[in-house]
Amino acid sequence: MPPTLNDIREAARRIKPYVHRTPVLTNESLNEKVRAQVYLKCENLQKVGAFKFRGACNAVFSLDDETAGRGVCTHSSGNHAQALALAARLRGIPAYIAMPNTAPAVKKAAVAGYGGQITFCEPTLESREAALAKIVAETGATVVHPYNDERVIAGQGTAALELLEDLPDLDIVIAPIGGGGLLSGTSTAATELKKNIRVIGAEPEMADDAYRSLKEGRILPSVKPKTVADGLLTSFGTLTFPIVRERVEQIITVSEQGIIEAMKFIWERAKIIIEPSAAVAVGVLWEKKIDLSGLKVGVILSGGNVDLEKLPWQS
Protein backbone atom coordinates (compact mmCIF):
# COMPACT_ATOMS: atom_id res chain seq x y z
CA MET A 1 0.00 0.00 0.00
CA PRO A 2 1.39 3.40 -0.89
CA PRO A 3 1.79 5.59 2.16
CA THR A 4 -0.85 8.26 2.74
CA LEU A 5 -0.49 11.79 4.03
CA ASN A 6 -1.56 10.39 7.36
CA ASP A 7 1.32 7.90 7.31
CA ILE A 8 3.69 10.77 6.63
CA ARG A 9 2.23 12.78 9.51
CA GLU A 10 2.63 9.79 11.81
CA ALA A 11 6.19 9.37 10.62
CA ALA A 12 6.87 13.01 11.40
CA ARG A 13 5.62 12.54 14.96
CA ARG A 14 7.58 9.32 15.36
CA ILE A 15 10.94 10.66 14.20
CA LYS A 16 10.62 14.16 15.64
CA PRO A 17 12.83 13.50 18.69
CA TYR A 18 15.66 12.23 16.49
CA VAL A 19 15.80 14.30 13.31
CA HIS A 20 16.68 17.92 12.68
CA ARG A 21 13.92 20.16 11.43
CA THR A 22 16.18 21.42 8.68
CA PRO A 23 16.25 25.10 7.76
CA VAL A 24 14.83 26.50 4.53
CA LEU A 25 17.29 28.94 2.98
CA THR A 26 16.82 31.56 0.31
CA ASN A 27 19.48 33.16 -1.83
CA GLU A 28 19.16 36.37 -3.82
CA SER A 29 21.73 35.41 -6.46
CA LEU A 30 19.88 32.20 -7.13
CA ASN A 31 16.53 33.99 -7.33
CA GLU A 32 17.96 36.53 -9.75
CA LYS A 33 19.55 33.84 -11.87
CA VAL A 34 16.36 31.83 -12.28
CA ARG A 35 13.80 34.66 -11.91
CA ALA A 36 11.83 32.76 -9.32
CA GLN A 37 11.54 32.61 -5.54
CA VAL A 38 13.53 29.55 -4.62
CA TYR A 39 13.35 27.88 -1.21
CA LEU A 40 16.10 25.41 -0.41
CA LYS A 41 15.05 22.68 2.02
CA CYS A 42 18.39 21.74 3.50
CA GLU A 43 18.43 17.99 4.01
CA ASN A 44 22.18 18.23 3.55
CA LEU A 45 22.05 19.61 7.10
CA GLN A 46 20.06 16.60 8.28
CA LYS A 47 21.76 14.05 10.57
CA VAL A 48 24.20 11.82 8.64
CA GLY A 49 24.09 14.58 6.03
CA ALA A 50 21.08 13.33 4.07
CA PHE A 51 17.28 12.94 4.01
CA LYS A 52 17.89 9.19 4.19
CA PHE A 53 17.98 9.49 7.96
CA ARG A 54 14.28 10.33 8.00
CA GLY A 55 13.19 7.13 6.27
CA ALA A 56 15.62 4.91 8.15
CA CYS A 57 14.50 6.42 11.43
CA ASN A 58 10.83 5.90 10.64
CA ALA A 59 11.45 2.28 9.67
CA VAL A 60 13.51 1.53 12.77
CA PHE A 61 11.10 3.18 15.20
CA SER A 62 8.06 1.56 13.54
CA LEU A 63 9.18 -1.92 14.58
CA ASP A 64 7.71 -3.59 17.64
CA ASP A 65 10.19 -4.25 20.44
CA GLU A 66 10.66 -7.93 19.77
CA THR A 67 11.27 -7.49 16.05
CA ALA A 68 13.49 -4.49 16.66
CA GLY A 69 15.53 -6.49 19.17
CA ARG A 70 16.80 -8.75 16.39
CA GLY A 71 18.19 -5.75 14.58
CA VAL A 72 17.89 -4.26 11.11
CA CYS A 73 19.95 -4.82 7.99
CA THR A 74 20.47 -3.62 4.44
CA HIS A 75 22.96 -3.73 1.64
CA SER A 76 24.25 -0.31 0.73
CA SER A 77 27.47 1.59 0.61
CA GLY A 78 25.89 5.00 0.66
CA ASN A 79 23.90 7.36 2.81
CA HIS A 80 21.22 4.77 3.59
CA ALA A 81 23.75 2.54 5.33
CA GLN A 82 24.89 5.37 7.57
CA ALA A 83 21.34 6.46 8.20
CA LEU A 84 20.21 2.97 9.19
CA ALA A 85 23.23 2.49 11.44
CA LEU A 86 22.55 5.71 13.32
CA ALA A 87 18.80 5.09 13.61
CA ALA A 88 19.52 1.62 15.02
CA ARG A 89 22.03 3.01 17.48
CA LEU A 90 19.47 5.51 18.69
CA ARG A 91 17.02 2.69 19.30
CA GLY A 92 19.76 0.57 20.88
CA ILE A 93 19.55 -2.29 18.39
CA PRO A 94 22.11 -3.76 15.99
CA ALA A 95 22.38 -2.71 12.34
CA TYR A 96 24.00 -5.18 9.94
CA ILE A 97 25.25 -3.68 6.72
CA ALA A 98 26.35 -5.71 3.70
CA MET A 99 28.85 -3.53 1.88
CA PRO A 100 30.97 -4.18 -1.19
CA ASN A 101 34.65 -4.57 -0.33
CA THR A 102 35.38 -1.93 -2.96
CA ALA A 103 33.53 0.80 -1.02
CA PRO A 104 35.72 3.82 -0.20
CA ALA A 105 37.41 3.70 3.21
CA VAL A 106 35.63 6.89 4.23
CA LYS A 107 32.21 5.22 3.78
CA LYS A 108 33.22 2.12 5.72
CA ALA A 109 34.50 4.34 8.50
CA ALA A 110 31.30 6.37 8.55
CA VAL A 111 29.06 3.30 8.90
CA ALA A 112 31.34 1.80 11.55
CA GLY A 113 31.43 5.18 13.31
CA TYR A 114 27.66 5.01 13.76
CA GLY A 115 28.00 1.52 15.20
CA GLY A 116 26.96 -0.42 12.09
CA GLN A 117 28.26 -4.00 11.83
CA ILE A 118 29.69 -4.42 8.35
CA THR A 119 29.77 -7.65 6.34
CA PHE A 120 31.90 -7.30 3.26
CA CYS A 121 30.90 -8.85 -0.04
CA GLU A 122 31.80 -8.65 -3.71
CA PRO A 123 30.61 -5.55 -5.58
CA THR A 124 27.88 -7.39 -7.49
CA LEU A 125 24.17 -7.38 -6.80
CA GLU A 126 24.20 -11.19 -6.44
CA SER A 127 26.92 -11.09 -3.83
CA ARG A 128 25.25 -8.26 -1.94
CA GLU A 129 21.93 -10.04 -1.86
CA ALA A 130 23.55 -13.31 -0.80
CA ALA A 131 25.36 -11.54 2.02
CA LEU A 132 22.12 -9.93 3.14
CA ALA A 133 20.22 -13.24 3.03
CA LYS A 134 22.91 -14.78 5.20
CA ILE A 135 22.61 -11.97 7.74
CA VAL A 136 18.83 -12.41 7.88
CA ALA A 137 19.14 -16.18 8.28
CA GLU A 138 21.65 -15.85 11.10
CA THR A 139 20.17 -12.92 13.03
CA GLY A 140 16.51 -12.58 12.15
CA ALA A 141 17.16 -8.92 11.46
CA THR A 142 14.55 -6.92 9.52
CA VAL A 143 15.62 -5.81 6.05
CA VAL A 144 15.13 -2.11 5.47
CA HIS A 145 15.26 -1.41 1.77
CA PRO A 146 16.70 2.02 0.89
CA TYR A 147 13.55 3.11 -0.95
CA ASN A 148 11.12 0.34 -1.88
CA ASP A 149 9.58 0.34 1.60
CA GLU A 150 6.43 2.15 2.77
CA ARG A 151 7.91 3.18 6.09
CA VAL A 152 10.97 4.57 4.36
CA ILE A 153 8.86 6.46 1.80
CA ALA A 154 6.66 7.91 4.56
CA GLY A 155 9.77 9.03 6.43
CA GLN A 156 11.25 10.71 3.36
CA GLY A 157 7.94 12.53 2.87
CA THR A 158 8.40 14.38 6.14
CA ALA A 159 10.90 16.77 4.53
CA ALA A 160 8.23 18.02 2.10
CA LEU A 161 5.69 18.08 4.95
CA GLU A 162 7.93 20.49 6.86
CA LEU A 163 8.63 22.51 3.73
CA LEU A 164 4.93 23.00 3.05
CA GLU A 165 4.22 23.79 6.68
CA ASP A 166 6.75 26.60 6.36
CA LEU A 167 5.63 27.66 2.87
CA PRO A 168 2.07 26.56 2.16
CA ASP A 169 1.85 28.52 -1.09
CA LEU A 170 4.64 26.90 -3.06
CA ASP A 171 3.87 26.43 -6.76
CA ILE A 172 6.40 23.70 -7.49
CA VAL A 173 8.54 21.25 -5.56
CA ILE A 174 11.63 19.69 -7.13
CA ALA A 175 13.41 16.64 -5.73
CA PRO A 176 16.06 14.35 -7.19
CA ILE A 177 15.20 10.79 -8.17
CA GLY A 178 17.32 7.66 -7.84
CA GLY A 179 15.13 4.79 -6.71
CA GLY A 180 12.23 7.13 -6.07
CA GLY A 181 11.88 7.00 -2.28
CA LEU A 182 12.35 10.71 -1.75
CA LEU A 183 10.26 11.66 -4.78
CA SER A 184 7.44 9.30 -3.74
CA GLY A 185 7.30 10.72 -0.24
CA THR A 186 7.68 14.28 -1.48
CA SER A 187 4.97 14.01 -4.12
CA THR A 188 2.55 12.31 -1.74
CA ALA A 189 2.99 14.98 0.92
CA ALA A 190 2.93 17.88 -1.53
CA THR A 191 -0.04 16.87 -3.67
CA GLU A 192 -2.12 15.87 -0.66
CA LEU A 193 -1.37 19.15 1.12
CA LYS A 194 -1.92 21.41 -1.89
CA LYS A 195 -4.17 20.34 -4.72
CA ASN A 196 -2.54 22.10 -7.66
CA ILE A 197 1.08 21.93 -6.65
CA ARG A 198 3.44 20.66 -9.32
CA VAL A 199 6.06 18.08 -8.38
CA ILE A 200 9.11 17.61 -10.60
CA GLY A 201 11.71 14.87 -10.45
CA ALA A 202 15.33 15.71 -11.23
CA GLU A 203 17.54 13.07 -12.79
CA PRO A 204 21.01 12.99 -14.33
CA GLU A 205 20.90 12.75 -18.14
CA MET A 206 23.49 10.00 -17.81
CA ALA A 207 21.26 7.92 -15.51
CA ASP A 208 17.84 8.66 -16.99
CA ASP A 209 16.09 5.37 -16.28
CA ALA A 210 13.26 7.08 -14.36
CA TYR A 211 12.64 9.48 -17.23
CA ARG A 212 12.54 6.59 -19.70
CA SER A 213 10.46 4.41 -17.38
CA LEU A 214 7.74 7.05 -17.13
CA LYS A 215 7.78 7.48 -20.92
CA GLU A 216 7.42 3.76 -21.54
CA GLY A 217 5.04 3.12 -18.67
CA ARG A 218 7.12 0.35 -17.13
CA ILE A 219 10.16 0.08 -14.90
CA LEU A 220 13.34 0.13 -16.99
CA PRO A 221 16.62 -0.76 -15.36
CA SER A 222 19.43 1.71 -14.96
CA VAL A 223 21.92 0.54 -17.59
CA LYS A 224 25.55 1.30 -16.77
CA PRO A 225 24.79 4.77 -15.44
CA LYS A 226 27.86 6.97 -15.30
CA THR A 227 27.27 10.21 -13.49
CA VAL A 228 28.92 12.35 -10.85
CA ALA A 229 25.61 12.08 -8.95
CA ASP A 230 26.47 8.71 -7.49
CA GLY A 231 23.48 8.72 -5.17
CA LEU A 232 21.10 8.42 -8.13
CA LEU A 233 22.30 5.22 -9.82
CA THR A 234 19.43 3.00 -8.69
CA SER A 235 16.17 2.47 -10.57
CA PHE A 236 12.48 2.50 -9.61
CA GLY A 237 11.04 -0.05 -7.20
CA THR A 238 7.63 -1.64 -7.55
CA LEU A 239 6.33 0.61 -4.80
CA THR A 240 7.85 3.89 -5.95
CA PHE A 241 7.07 3.64 -9.65
CA PRO A 242 3.26 3.87 -9.41
CA ILE A 243 3.42 6.68 -6.87
CA VAL A 244 5.72 8.77 -9.02
CA ARG A 245 3.67 7.99 -12.15
CA GLU A 246 0.52 9.16 -10.44
CA ARG A 247 1.77 12.21 -8.57
CA VAL A 248 4.78 13.63 -10.40
CA GLU A 249 4.27 15.97 -13.35
CA GLN A 250 7.49 15.08 -15.11
CA ILE A 251 11.12 14.10 -14.76
CA ILE A 252 13.65 16.63 -16.01
CA THR A 253 17.15 15.45 -16.86
CA VAL A 254 20.28 17.47 -16.18
CA SER A 255 23.66 17.22 -17.91
CA GLU A 256 26.86 16.42 -16.03
CA GLN A 257 28.09 19.95 -16.61
CA GLY A 258 24.80 21.33 -15.34
CA ILE A 259 25.08 19.25 -12.17
CA ILE A 260 28.61 20.42 -11.43
CA GLU A 261 27.78 24.06 -12.16
CA ALA A 262 24.75 23.90 -9.90
CA MET A 263 26.79 22.31 -7.13
CA LYS A 264 29.50 24.94 -7.29
CA PHE A 265 26.94 27.75 -7.47
CA ILE A 266 25.28 26.59 -4.27
CA TRP A 267 28.61 26.16 -2.48
CA GLU A 268 29.78 29.61 -3.56
CA ARG A 269 26.61 31.58 -3.10
CA ALA A 270 24.53 29.75 -0.51
CA LYS A 271 27.62 28.66 1.51
CA ILE A 272 26.35 25.16 2.08
CA ILE A 273 27.84 21.86 1.01
CA ILE A 274 25.63 19.80 -1.25
CA GLU A 275 26.51 16.54 -2.93
CA PRO A 276 26.13 16.10 -6.70
CA SER A 277 22.82 14.24 -6.27
CA ALA A 278 21.34 17.29 -4.55
CA ALA A 279 22.78 19.54 -7.24
CA VAL A 280 20.74 17.69 -9.86
CA ALA A 281 17.59 19.24 -8.40
CA VAL A 282 19.18 22.70 -8.52
CA GLY A 283 20.31 22.04 -12.10
CA VAL A 284 16.67 21.77 -13.16
CA LEU A 285 16.28 25.45 -12.33
CA TRP A 286 18.44 26.54 -15.23
CA GLU A 287 17.87 23.76 -17.71
CA LYS A 288 15.06 25.99 -19.11
CA LYS A 289 12.88 22.99 -19.80
CA ILE A 290 10.09 24.49 -17.71
CA ASP A 291 9.17 28.11 -17.21
CA LEU A 292 9.61 29.06 -13.58
CA SER A 293 9.31 32.85 -13.92
CA GLY A 294 7.72 34.40 -10.90
CA LEU A 295 6.92 31.08 -9.26
CA LYS A 296 7.63 29.91 -5.73
CA VAL A 297 9.81 26.87 -6.08
CA GLY A 298 10.82 24.50 -3.30
CA VAL A 299 13.95 22.44 -3.92
CA ILE A 300 14.87 19.52 -1.70
CA LEU A 301 18.62 19.49 -1.25
CA SER A 302 18.92 15.80 -0.58
CA GLY A 303 22.36 15.52 0.96
CA GLY A 304 25.82 16.90 1.58
CA ASN A 305 28.17 13.95 1.72
CA VAL A 306 31.17 14.78 -0.44
CA ASP A 307 34.83 13.84 -0.41
CA LEU A 308 36.43 17.21 0.26
CA GLU A 309 39.76 16.04 -1.13
CA LYS A 310 38.28 15.42 -4.56
CA LEU A 311 35.89 18.06 -5.80
CA PRO A 312 34.32 17.66 -9.23
CA TRP A 313 35.40 21.09 -10.47
CA GLN A 314 39.03 20.38 -9.71
CA SER A 315 41.19 18.43 -12.10
109 binds a second copy (CB under 8 A): no
Smallest separation (angstroms) from a second copy to the CB of 291: 26
104 binds a second copy (CB under 8 A): no
Residues 237, 239, 243, CA angle at the centre, nearest 5°? 110
Smallest separation (angstroms) from a second copy to the CB of 271: 4
23 binds a second copy (CB under 8 A): yes
For residue 213, give Cα distances in angstroms to 154, 180, 249: 23, 12, 14
Among 159, 151, 136, 158, which Cα is nearest to 63's? 151
Contact predicate 89/56, CB 8 Å: no
Smallest separation (angstroms) from a second copy to the CB of 90: 10
Please pick, from the candidates 14, 41, 47, 107, the single residue that binds a second copy as defined by CB under 8 A.
Answer: 47
Residue 217 makes CB contacts below 8 A (sequence gap 6+) with 245
CB count within 10 Å of CB 168 equals 10
Residues 158, 164, 170, CA angle at the centre, nearest 5°? 140
Cα–Cα dist 219/238, whole Å: 8
Smallest separation (angstroms) from a second copy to the CB of 120: 24
Smallest separation (angstroms) from a second copy to the CB of 221: 32
Q: Of residues 144-183, which lie at the interface with a second copy (CB under 8 A)?
A: none
Interface region with a second copy, contact rule CB under 8 A, candidates 134-142, 225-233, 267-275, 280-288: 267-275
Smallest separation (angstroms) from a second copy to the CB of 181: 20
Which of 44, 253 has the CB closer to a second copy?
A: 44
| First-residue to last-residue Cα distance in the chain | 47
**Sheet hosting strand 95-100, strand order edge to edge:** 117-121, 95-100, 72-75, 142-143
Q: Of residues 81-100, which lie at the interface with a second copy (CB under 8 A)?
A: none
Q: Of residues 276-315, which lie at the interface with a second copy (CB under 8 A)?
A: 304, 308-309, 311, 313-314
252 binds a second copy (CB under 8 A): no
Q: Of residues 219-248, which lie at the interface with a second copy (CB under 8 A)?
A: none
Strands (E), 127-170: 142-143
Cα–Cα dist 216/227, whole Å: 22
Which of 21, 218 has the CB closer to a second copy?
A: 21
For residue 176, give Cα distances in angstroms to 152, 214, 244, 254: 16, 15, 12, 10
270 binds a second copy (CB under 8 A): yes
Interface region with a second copy, contact rule CB under 8 A, candidates 8-16, 44-52, 68-76, 169-177: 44-52
Which of 44, 184 has the CB closer to a second copy?
A: 44
Please pick, from the candidates 28, 65, 66, 291, the single residue that binds a second copy as defined by CB under 8 A.
Answer: 28
Q: Which residues would be at the binding site for a second copy (CB under 8 A)?
A: 20, 23, 25-26, 28, 44-45, 47, 49, 264, 267-268, 270-274, 304, 308-309, 311, 313-314
